[in-house]
Amino acid sequence: MVKLELHDDEDTLDNTAPRVSKHQHQHLLYPGLKSAGKRKRDDSPNSKTDRPPAVDASSTKSTSRPYAPPNRPKVQRAPIARKFVVNTRMTSRPAEAYLEYNPLKMYKRSDLATLVYTIDLVKQCVQAIKTGHDRELKFSVLRRRLHQMEFYDFIEDILIVKSKLLEDQGFPAIFDDPNFIFDLRADALLLFRRWATRQWDPHLLRGIVTKMGTNSKEKVFSTKSLDKNYSLKVPASYHGEGDLVNGQWWPLQICTIRDGAHGLAEGGIYGQVAQGAYSIILSGGGYADIDEGDTIQYCGTSGEKDKPTAFTERMLESFRLKKSIRVLRSAGLAGKHSNYRPVKGIRYDGIYHVTGYELLDKGTSMYRFTLVRCPGQDPIRYQGEEVRPTEEELRAYSKIEGYLKPSG
């Protein structure tokens, strides 16, 4: 969406446009009078040629505009006190593909046809919604297509623009329509936000540097870190959902840092002093956590007597400040502790509030907090066709699973 600002000042008029001569103007108005530009002028008093009446220069304020309205007076405008950009459905960043693409760049017609077919599927779903015929079947086909599109490796600016997937008939037709099922809206919105900001790389470990080697005992190990040159990293120091979508999934915790879901490569509680916790990760580790989906009993970390750890303090601040917390679930959760965990990796499951806490052990200042999922959110995507990770995500995970093992 392009924002236009209109001004009344005459200084904003374009005075660089080419001017049309008098004879050219006559010829444009009367194309049949070919000799209009050559006709000899008759200045005799008896001439019957109609001429405009003489204009007294003293009667006009501007001699440069004798046949035009007078200049509008300039308006004294008040100084701007506040100026802001409206946040559209696309997030605060513009659709960079439309700003950067080269219309002369070569592309494969088959790739464009693959993208355009998605719009046909959307139209079929809209028709099924209206008629009620084959609605679930059409949704299922579109769902599979959206899951596949997440791993397309041929996406580029020219294809995005020509396919019109970022325009009203594309992804917005899905996530703007409440008649589409919730997981389709979330997956379409996720693709829209990625492609609108030119995040073409479909690899699960994009922006992550993996190093492997052997130690003195010839045991293979691997380390992972964020690529310092990766320009699309999103900050995680904020409350609320941000640009995340319900069910968004990652293979490793460090990937959540890349996309602004969590702020620590290790550790389950991320926050700042006087701000409370921004996010937590439910995982293993022997804590007395209880996961009931919409309600969670979540433990802080062990400290000293009458001295909670900094992580526990962030949770206590969240309770006092009534700040929301992003909750992510890890596959590391033991099955007996949670039926909501993903089968692999880490999944974002929505916004929660801390509603209370209890002191489990005074000697270690171990607190356990009660978190309740905020109302009005889509269901947790842990089962059914909407489950995350998807089959496509698990297939991509299996290809790199050897690189995902923790260091030895």
| Backbone dihedral angles phi then psi of residue 297, each to the nearest 5 degrees | -105, 110
Rounded mean pLDDT, 230-234: 94
As a whole-number percent, the residues of the chain with pLDDT over 90 amount to 63
Q: Is the pLDDT of residue 58 over 70?
A: no
Return the pLDDT at 70: 63
| Predicted local confidence at residue 217, as pLDDT | 74
Span of 47-61, 187-201, 350-364 with lowest mean pLDDT: 47-61
Nearby residues of 386 by Cβ (< 8 Å), 6 or more positions away? 143, 181, 182, 183, 247, 379
In 3D, which of 146, 191, 66 has the Cα closest to residue 385? 146
pLDDT of residue 305: 87
For residue 91, pLDDT beyond 50: no
Partners of 356 in the beta sheet?
370
Region 339-344: what's the mean pLDDT?
A: 94
| Residues 346 and 298 sit within 8 Å (Cβ to Cβ) | no
pLDDT classification of 53: cutoffs 50, 70, 90: low
Q: What are phi and psi of 299, to 5 degrees?
A: -90, 145
Quick: pLDDT tens for 233-279. 999 999 999 999 999 999 999 999 999 999 999 999 999 999 999 99
Portion of the chain with pLDDT greater than 70, in percent: 73
Q: Identify the pLDDT of residue 78.
A: 57
Residue 310's pLDDT is 96
The more confident residue out of 1 and 212 is 212
Between 90 and 268, the higher pLDDT residue: 268
d(CA 83, CA 89): 19
Answering whether pTM is above 0.85, one says: no
Using 50, 70 and 90 to split pLDDT, how confident is the model at 88?
Answer: very low
Query: What's residue 79's pLDDT?
Result: 61
| pLDDT level of residue 8 (50, 70, 90 thresholds) | very low
